Structure 1
Amino acid sequence: MKFSKEDILNIFKLNIENNSFIKAVFSNSKNTTEYKKINIKPLIIKGEIRIQFEQFKENKAFHSNLSVEETFNYLDNILDNFKQILIINSSEEIQILQNKKGFSVKNKKTDTKQVSLSHNKKKNYILEDNTPIPFLIKLGVMSNDGHVSKEKFNKFRQINRYLEFIEDTLKELQDKKLIDNSMKIVDFGCGKSYLTFALYHYLKNIKNMNIEIIGLDLKDDVIKHCNEIAKELEFTNLSFLKGDIKDFNSFKNVDMIFSLHACNNATDYSILKGLELGAKAILAVPCCQSEINQKIDKSKTTELKNSLSPFGNHGILQERFSSLATDALRALALELCGFNTKVMEFIDMEHTPKNILIKAIKGNISEEKLSEKKAEYDRYLKFLGVDPLIDTILKDYFLK
């Protein structure tokens, strides 16, 4: 049986108006279509039902929240553009296919649970609020009954965001057969070690892994305090050492290194040490990337004074450009060392301006791809017109 466009619109209207609608997916678009895929779902915003459209174009997602009336008008415009539509409601899946003769509809009974429509639904954290966690209590993030105060919630959120990155990294390492159920990890510049303790708790108490973790810092009092807490919490195989990154040699064959807010070139030395130790994963959140900015000031060939002079003519813009340029160079250099890299947001800007995370996982790179990356790297250095430290110290680790 063939269905008309009006019939399909009525299916949407029936599902949305009786509050059984959960989501719909438009796929297999026609060549003339601007968006290649569209997801829609209902939301409640300020007490009113809205339909959220998530539309994909060139690997980018565009979001809009429409009223029910606007939704029906928009659906009327886009129905002809997709050959396949899936509607999911609380009792069935409705598969809609379109060809030259019209639409066909196939129903399949399901038992899909209705999800919350709240646009501001509670975030599900790896470490939950109102659940006492000894290391968070000891560090003052939680009260004894497990409550996180308003003043400490940003720190609590940062810790959970960090663990989300660790969770993703762990899965990737295991999927690539780079680790099994044991890990050696170094945290360079651990400071007060909120994240180091969180890492130990997550891997040991939640994932039940065999782990050895060392936190390294230059401050005597910090190291002493952290070792005392680790002992009180009975976190065996977690220790804290005083020392410089460049001199660290307590581990061999490390699985992962983490560097949080290591200032300026300390991030570069953390990356270098990770390579020296054979790290399979390198996570770095850089800070105070001033080296390239200072060298651009003295460079006679940098494009910051030529084609990008609108940046170079203003100190604050050049400084911010240089910070991003530094981290882009680090990510590219790690790719030349045989890593797959991603640069992503660590936590929201409202909590700290130092929010870029460089994530590098050991991978395989073809000779052709390596050659392309090396050419890209050389062009980039020429464009910057500087001789950065990371180029000097990592050259020996570039794949040939």
Structure 2
Amino acid sequence: MFSSLLAPDAGAASPDARERFLRLLRTALAERRFQRLLLNRHEGEDASIERLTVRDIELRGERALSFLWRHKTKDVTKNHPLDEGLALIDGLLGHDFQQAHLDTLGEEVQLRFSRKGKPLLQVGKKAGADAGAAGGESAAPSGGHDRAKPRELSSDSPFWRDLGVTHEIKGQPALVPAMARKWKQINKFIEIFGAAVRKAGLDEPGTPVRLADFGSGKGYLTFAMHDWLRAQGLAPRVQGVELKQDMVALGNAAAARHGLEGLSFEHGDVRERGDQPLDVMVALHACDIATDYAMHFGLRSGARIIMCAPCCHKEIRPQMTTPAALRPLLQHGIHLGQEAEMVTDSLRALLLELMGYDTQVIEFIALEHTSKNKMVLAVKRPQDPTPARRAELLAQLEEIKRFYGLRSQALETLLRVDGRLEAA
């Protein structure tokens, strides 16, 4: 597959600077050392173009090059097969763009053209600690097998500046040092999100993906999900829903400034939301039973993916009676609180499975400084549970409630009120 990417024989005639740059680019891609290519000093016909960023992605199981064209008022992303993308870069160098900067795991390579069109090449070695600094990774030695895992997102996207994640140093985008941890967390979330999208079968090119992010806050994940979906060749319709009006205004202003079609923010509360067809429902850190309302909304909306990171498990704890065998363990308040969290999220997972979802409770790196780091992730199955499996799940639900003396749980109550649980 990669034969066309390999560098020419070292004994061939000495190439000029431009050809050597292209050879280094192909070699970096073939050896999986490529990190980013930035083309700037644009002199093409379209005066609105400011620069072009190219990154290596996987699309439907095949490697591709993702071109992010930054215009003065919008961003445009186009994906190309490797050979097609390389041919396009070849045609742009020295014509539409007069400068190129290539980042690899071991080198920084810069190509620029003089006013007379002469190509000038500079190649510099990176210190090991610097190779992955932009994305928070540490680079492995060139040629090694334990290389840094590539990020799914690019910090070059200009909207990250509006959100305070990046700034510019000498005209180039760079991660704000204080945001390095948050950037890692955002990428971890996108890794989980991307796997769920693929499992749900929403990854066919051109597929419209309707997504609501409740409690979107400043919009880090809302923008990230929209950016990732668009980079996969999908047609995202992403909506951030937030109670704070200033956060809604910030998100809408940034989306409009960068021409991000299919991304919007609005003021609202999931508990007051009318029915809305969705493919993905996200709610992170919804307090106490707001998580149950969010899950119920996802079920009503027909979402194929439900992602919740619960916070504050207040409903179950005061109801719990301590079983005799557990009294020595649960006499300590911290243990009782942890037990209440486990019971609450386990009941939610059982109820989502009853509704026809493959459900997991997994570790999730929280975006804020909090110990709440669990996520309930549910992906719709092609078939609903069999009658025998429904009966088994209902029996498990009732046994847990009996064991702990629980009278009610919000999601179960909501499902019984609208008739969904009886139907199961």
TM-score normalised by L of structure 1 = 0.64
Name the SS of the counterpart of 1:291 in structure 2.
Answer: coil
CA contact (8 A) 2:215 2:242 kept: yes
What is the aligned counterpart of 2:200 among 169, 173, 179? Answer: 173
CA contact (8 A) 1:174 1:180 kept: no
Q: Distance in 1 between matches of 2:255 and 2:387?
A: 46
Question: What is aligned with 1:194?
Answer: 220
How do 1:1-400 residues align onto structure 2 when only pairs under 5 Å count?
116=144, 121-128=147-154, 132-144=156-168, 145-174=172-201, 181-204=207-230, 206-249=231-274, 252-296=276-320, 302=321, 304-347=322-365, 352-363=370-381, 364=383, 365-386=385-406, 387-395=408-416, 396-398=419-421, 399-400=423-424
CA contact (8 A) 1:263 1:286 kept: yes
User: What residue ranges of structure 1 are gaps of 5+ in the alignment?
Assistant: 1-113, 297-301
TM-score normalised by L of structure 2 = 0.61
Name the SS of the counterpart of 2:166 in structure 1.
Answer: coil
CA contact (8 A) 2:212 2:282 kept: yes
In the comparison of the two structures, how many residue pairs are matched? Answer: 274
Percent identical pairs in the alignment equals: 32
Q: Deviations over 1:161-197 (max 9, x none)?
A: 11111110111111899x9711111111111110001
Per-residue deviation at 1:351?
5.8
Residue identity in the other structure for 1:369: R
Name the SS of the counterpart of 1:201 in structure 2.
Answer: helix
Q: Distance in 1 between matches of 2:386 and 2:145?
A: 46
Q: Distance in 2 between matches of 1:381 and 1:146?
A: 53
Q: Distance in 2 between matches of 1:318 and 1:182?
A: 44
CA contact (8 A) 1:305 1:313 kept: no
Q: Distance in 2 between matches of 1:312 and 1:163?
A: 36
Residue identity in the other structure for 2:306: I
Q: Distance in 2 between matches of 1:157 and 1:267?
A: 25
Spell out structure 1 runs of 4+ moving beyond 6 A.
none
Residue 317 to residue 191, structure 1, CA distance change in 2 (3 Å): same
Residue identity in the other structure for 1:357: M
Name the SS of the counterpart of 1:353 in structure 2.
Answer: coil
Question: What is aligned with 2:104?
Answer: none
Residue identity in the other structure for 2:318: Q
Q: Deviations over 1:289-313 (max 9, x none)?
A: 12111222xxxxx3x2422112331
Q: Deviations over 1:341-374 (max 9, x none)?
A: 0111112799641111111111122121111111
Residue 176 to residue 360, structure 1, CA distance change in 2 (3 Å): farther
Q: Distance in 1 between matches of 2:288 and 2:346?
A: 14
Per-residue deviation at 1:147?
2.1
Per-residue deviation at 1:219?
1.4
User: What residue ranges of structure 2 are gaps of 5+ in the alignment?
Assistant: 1-141
Per-residue deviation at 1:271?
0.4
Q: Distance in 1 between matches of 2:175 and 2:233?
A: 25
Residue 267 to residue 348, structure 1, CA distance change in 2 (3 Å): closer
Q: Distance in 2 between matches of 1:218 and 1:175?
A: 29
Residue identity in the other structure for 1:233: H
Residue identity in the other structure for 1:383: F
CA contact (8 A) 1:275 1:397 kept: no
CA contact (8 A) 1:349 1:355 kept: no
CA contact (8 A) 1:305 1:312 kept: no
Residue 324 to residue 115, structure 1, CA distance change in 2 (3 Å): farther
Q: Distance in 2 between matches of 1:260 and 1:162?
A: 11
Residue 183 to residue 246, structure 1, CA distance change in 2 (3 Å): same
Deviation larger for 305-314 or 256-265: 305-314
Q: Distance in 2 between matches of 1:117 and 1:350?
A: 33
CA contact (8 A) 2:317 2:337 kept: yes
Name the SS of the counterpart of 1:133 in structure 2.
Answer: coil
Q: Deviations over 1:244-277 (max 9, x none)?
A: 212223x632111000111111100000111111
Q: Distance in 1 between matches of 2:226 and 2:415?
A: 30
Residue identity in the other structure for 1:397: R
